[in-house]
Structure 1
């Protein structure tokens, strides 16, 4: 697993795409932890990975500049430079208030907020549907991920270890990517180019997300057959 992750990570870093690499590492580390790895080994892996990510940020000028801009986005140079997307995103949330300005009436998506259809679609939702719309999306993802973990637990109860760990890995994927996207949009995390699963515009991302859900539905279908005493 370490070899496969290392090869994938090398290709992603060479692109460069640190955000996608973070998602891959999160999935792998989550599956390793849920699979029952020794806590000392897991702690050592976490420490090594955190050190590696910090080093990549510190010794890469544009990543460090993005981080410092995130810490003070309203400073004039940052607001017009590295934190421009973040400040425009926060303005969108502010305009939305509680109930939003209405579907299709977003001003920020009209060339003020870059990548409004992909990385910052959550800010547009906040502007058009307000705080209620934001909470609706968060609750929807929470229900989806909780249900996926429940399906994984059912599979584990039938000693279907591969299916259980695979579904848990997919749940971690959706959960971590959604958390990072929402956190970036709301200024909780540094700006990182990750889409919001099933919401952001995209071709291959939507396709792979649908395939992942199809796998989860198949595992759930087989779990239900086993509960009825049928063979799978």
Structure 2
């Protein structure tokens, strides 16, 4: 993909209809799957089978309203807010470390009265806009390895803050940075060095905490560890689904066998209830969504639009791959949600805000 470094005259067009249609199907499918998966836990914990669904629908509606507003705002305006937004994400990360609410052994939430907020979800969007701004300022020097390193290093503070309690999100942020730099750089050979540096960084990061190394052992032999219970139950759910599944709402593993099935492990329940056919259908929806991001990035009117769409593509692609890889025990368990399908109000809201940015880019063509 080649882009002019200068913005060109653009004409207003309708937003990408395929993206809107696929996104709508994913949202509706996700809500149906979430209700099927969470009804039992909602009844047991809150005496309300619709407990999780109602909260998710509320967050989704807020997200859709925000997406519509953002889609009608010229994306060039966000350059002014890129640095303040990034600094705010760092501040929120510090507040999580100091005052964060702990859940399942991890500090990831800030609470404001009855509302809770996961700053790491905001950080993903903030990093996309911040990196876009930094790359635009250094567009003529992107061929230098030193420039590439400086840009990646600029996001390490938020990577470190988020990674202290949420390794998977830190990996996503770092992945977004690498992909955006790759898109903007005219020289690709230097990325071999970046991969080596990234592997070294991850090795040091994993060695800093013993529980991270323990996850590697659990991944290799989940049957030998108590903490491998969730992984094993998820694999049982996948295996019992067969080709066509047990039927929507008929999962056995969601009845307390897979802990918090509506969160990170929801893909295993999809496999159990809808079988291989249903799992492939869900993956196909995400594939089409990511493909539309690529098309929008390829036809963006300028580098800024291309980077925003590429950042959203990187975010979606990495998060979907990580979630499915974790559920199938292809990689160690890192606690990552499936976009638009797993339960999480903060996640779905900021994902939809991000979709608003991409839709606005799609409205402007050469």
**TM-score of the superposed pair, with normalisation by structure 1:** 0.88
Conserved? CA contact 1:104–1:128, under 8 Å: yes
Conserved? CA contact 1:85–1:114, under 8 Å: yes
Query: How far, CA to CA, are the matches of 1:41 and 1:171 in structure 2?
Result: 22
**TM-score of the superposed pair, with normalisation by structure 2:** 0.57
Give how far 1:215 is off: 1.3
CA RMSD of superposed structures (Å): 1.4
Report the counterpart of residue 196 of structure 1 in structure 2: 338
Conserved? CA contact 2:248–2:273, under 8 Å: yes
How many equivalent pairs are there?
216
Structure 1 spans left out of the alignment, 5+ residues:
227-232
Shifted more, 1-10 versus 191-200: the winner is 1-10
Conserved? CA contact 1:93–1:126, under 8 Å: yes
Give how far 1:125 is off: 0.5
Structure 2 spans left out of the alignment, 5+ residues:
1-150
Query: How far, CA to CA, are the matches of 1:220 and 1:13 in structure 2?
Result: 32
Conserved? CA contact 1:121–1:196, under 8 Å: yes
Match of residue 4, structure 1, among 143, 147, 154: 154
Change (3 A) 1:19 1:90: same
Conserved? CA contact 1:65–1:82, under 8 Å: no
Give how far 1:58 is off: 3.3
Query: How far, CA to CA, are the matches of 2:310 and 2:178 in structure 1?
Result: 11
Conserved? CA contact 2:152–2:177, under 8 Å: no
Match of residue 82, structure 1, among 223, 227, 243: 227
State the secondary structure of the residue aligned to 1:122.
helix
Conserved? CA contact 1:95–1:127, under 8 Å: yes
Report the counterpart of residue 356 of structure 2 in structure 1: 214
Report the counterpart of residue 185 of structure 1 in structure 2: 327
Report the counterpart of residue 109 of structure 1 in structure 2: 254
Structure with the higher fraction of residues in strand conformation: 2
State the secondary structure of the residue aligned to 1:83.
helix
Match of residue 136, structure 1, among 253, 277, 281: 281
Runs of 4+ in 1 over 4 A off after TM superposition: none
Q: Any idea what the Cα deviations from partners look like across 1:122-153, whole Å, max 9, x if unmatched?
A: 00101110100110011111111011100110
Give how far 1:221 is off: 1.4
Give how far 1:23 is off: 0.2
State the secondary structure of the residue aligned to 2:304.
helix
Shifted more, 17-26 versus 103-112: the winner is 103-112
Give how far 1:217 is off: 1.3
Query: How far, CA to CA, are the matches of 1:3 and 1:185 in structure 2?
Result: 31
Give how far 1:44 is off: 2.0
Conserved? CA contact 2:172–2:315, under 8 Å: yes
Match of residue 264, structure 2, among 98, 115, 119: 119
State the secondary structure of the residue aligned to 2:171.
helix
Match of residue 98, structure 1, among 218, 243, 251: 243
